[in-house]
Chain A
C-alpha cells in the first residue's frame, strides 16, 4: 500500500514538473513579491483518545504571516500560522479545571504551477511541504499533561483562481475611471506521505528517566492516509487596492485524523483571517 502511494505521488509530481517545464518560457519571467500579515480567529476542536473521550474545543486568536511570489506561470507561498488559547470540554465550569492550553503552529511551503486558463479561471497544480504542530497542556492529566501531534507532510495541491474586474464610478460624472479587481482562490491539499510524532501508548512523558527527552523522537512514524488523513481547504478573496497592495479575507478548514498506538486523535480547525498584503515589486 505504502509503496503504491509513494509511486503514485512520484508519478503525479513528475507530471506536474513536466507540465510546468512546458509552459515556462525559456526567458525567465519577472516575478512579483508579496508579504501578508493577518489576524484572525481559529475555532479548534479535538478529540484525543489518549487521555479523554471528550471533545476539547475553543476559539483561539491566530496570526498568519505569508510571503509569496508570483510569475506568469508559478506561485510560491511560504506560510506561517500560529494560534494559542484554551480548549474546554462540555463539563467545563469555572470551578473545575477542564481546560487545556493549546498551541498550534503551521509552517509550509507551497509551489503551484499554472496548468490551464479557461475564461476568467486559472487552474494550478503543485505540491506543499509543511509541518503542523499541535501541543496541548492539561494539568489534570498528571504526568500525561503534555499531549501533542506533530506532523510533517508532502501533499499534492490544487488551486482554482477566479478573477473579476470592473470599473468604478459613473462614466458621465467621473473623469477618471478606476479599475477594481477581486480575486477568488480555492486551495486544496491532501497529504499522501506524512511523518507523525505522537506520545506513546500510555501518553506519559517517560519521567522515570530524566536523561531522556520528554518527547521521544524514536516515536516518529512515516505513514500515509491509511493512518493519518489531513485535508486542508482554503477559500480566499483578494481585493486589489489602487497602490497594488491587497486586502485579503480567508477562511481555512483543516480536518485531520490519526490512528496509531490505540490512541486515535481527530481534530479540525476553522480559521477566519483578515490580512493586509504588501506588494514589494511593481513590474
Chain B
C-alpha cells in the first residue's frame, strides 16, 4: 500500500512539473547545434575584436548537421565550429571528448625547460611555501620564485614569508612561465602583497545584452597593498606563450607597478572571463563573456607582450643556462643603470 501511494505521489509530481514548466527541448543534433550557436551569438564577447562573422559560421556548419548523425560526428562538427573563435577559453565537454583550442600556446617556442630550472636554479634544497618553490640565485643576491599554477591556492602568509625572506636582496624573479592560469583570487593575493600603493590595474567589461557589443559600463579594478612595508626592490616576471587566463591577469596587473619588468615571450592572453552553459543533450560548454583592457585601454586578449623579449637559446640550455633567467638576473643586478 505504501509503495502504491509513493508511486502515485511521484507520478503526480513528475507530470505536474511538465505541465507548469513545459517539456524539455528535444535533443536532436539540429537543436543542439542551434542552441550552441545562439548562446554564443548572444553572449560571447570577442566577435568584433576578432572580426568573426558568426552568421557566416552558422551557414558553413549548419549544412553539416544531419538528424541521423552520431554523437561523435556531431561533436566533431561543433568542435570545428568552436575552433573558429580561436579562444582557449572555449571548450565543449562531452562524456567522450573535450574540444579545445591550444594553438594560442604554440604561437612561439616553449621558452621554458622545467628540468633545467629544477637542476640548475632551484636545485635540491629549495623552499616549498604553499604552492611557491623558491630559492636564491645569482650568488645569493636574488630571490627566485616559481609559481606553476594559479589553480594552487596561495595564502597571504605564503607570499609574506617569501617577501620577508628576500627583502634584503637586490630583487626577486617571479617565474610564471607555462602557468596556464586558475583562480583570479590568487592573482589578488599575490599582487596585494607586492603592491606599493593603490593602483588601477585593469578595466573589465561584461556582456549585458545579446548584441555583439552590448557590454557593461567599465569596471575599474584596483589593487590595494596588503602590507604597510611593501616590497620595493625590482621584480622581474618571466612569461611565455603558455601563460594564460589568470596568469595573464597577473602579468597585466603587475605591469601597473613601477618596480616591475616582464621578460620572455608574449603571454597566451585569455583575458575574457569564461562562463558556462549546457546543451539539450547535457554536454556543457564554456566561453568568454567579458573583456579586459589595460589601464591605458589596450585589449591584450591575444597576449601581453613582455617589456623585454628574450627566448631560450639552445646553446645556453646545452651549457646549463636558462637564457631568460640569466637575463633577468643581469637586469636586477644592473637595475637603474
Contact = CB atoms under 8 A, between A and B. Distances in A.
A200 B21 contact: no
B154 interface: no
B276 A207 contact: no
A32 to B, nearest CB: 33
B275 A203 contact: yes
A24 to B, nearest CB: 39
A220 interface: no
Contact of B273 (A141, A208, A255): A208
A95 B159 CA distance: 39
B277 A143 contact: no
Given A208-B221, A209-B221, A53 B35 contact: yes
Interface string B274-292: 1111111110101001101
Contacts of B281: 91
Contact of B278 (A52, A57, A200): A52
Interface in A258-280: 262, 266-268, 270, 272
> Which of B222, B249, B276, B292 has the most chain A CB atoms inside 10 A of its CB?
B276
A268 B102 CA distance: 42
Interface in B283-311: 284, 286, 289-290, 292
Given A200-B206, A201-B43, A211 B20 contact: no
Nearest to A44: B17
Contacts of A89: 24, 282
B21 A142 contact: no
A207 B21 contact: no
A269 to B, nearest CB: 10
Interface string B4-28: 0000010001101100111011010
A112 interface: no
Interface stretch (B135-143, B207-215, B319-327, B329-337): B207-215
B188 interface: yes
A81 to B, nearest CB: 17
A242 interface: no
A210 B183 CA distance: 10
A155 B24 CA distance: 31
Contact of B277 (A144, A208, A270): A144
Interface residues of B, number: 48
A140 to B, nearest CB: 4
A202 B289 contact: yes
Contacts of B284: 140-142
B66 interface: no
A57 B17 contact: yes
B276 A51 contact: yes
B184 interface: yes
Interface in A145-191: 145
A266 B290 CA distance: 27
B242 interface: no
Nearest to B285: A142
Given A54-B24, A142-B286, A202-B206, A95 B95 contact: yes
> Which of A91, A95, A203 has the most chain B CB atoms inside 10 A of its CB?
A91
> Which of A140, A267, A270 has the most chain B CB atoms inside 10 A of its CB?
A140
A79 interface: no
A45 interface: yes
A98 B284 CA distance: 9
Interface string A20-57: 00000000000000000000000101110001111101
B174 to A, nearest CB: 19
A162 B85 CA distance: 64
A204 B192 CA distance: 24
29 contacts: A43-B16, A45-B20, A47-B21, A52-B278, A54-B24, A89-B24, A89-B282, A90-B24, A91-B282, A95-B95, A96-B95, A98-B282, A140-B276, A141-B277, A141-B284, A142-B275, A142-B286, A144-B276, A201-B207, A202-B207, A202-B289, A206-B204, A207-B184, A207-B273, A208-B204, A208-B290, A262-B42, A267-B21, A270-B13
User: Across chains A and B, which 3 residue pairs bring their CB atoms closest together, nearest first?
Assistant: A91-B282, A142-B276, A45-B17
Interface of B: 9, 13-14, 16-17, 20-22, 24-25, 27, 35, 42-43, 93, 95, 184-185, 187-188, 202, 204, 206-210, 214, 216, 219, 221-222, 249, 273-282, 284, 286, 289-290, 292
Given A43-B17, A140-B278, A206-B206, 11 more contacts: A47-B22, A53-B278, A54-B25, A140-B93, A141-B277, A144-B277, A200-B216, A203-B275, A204-B275, A206-B204, A208-B184
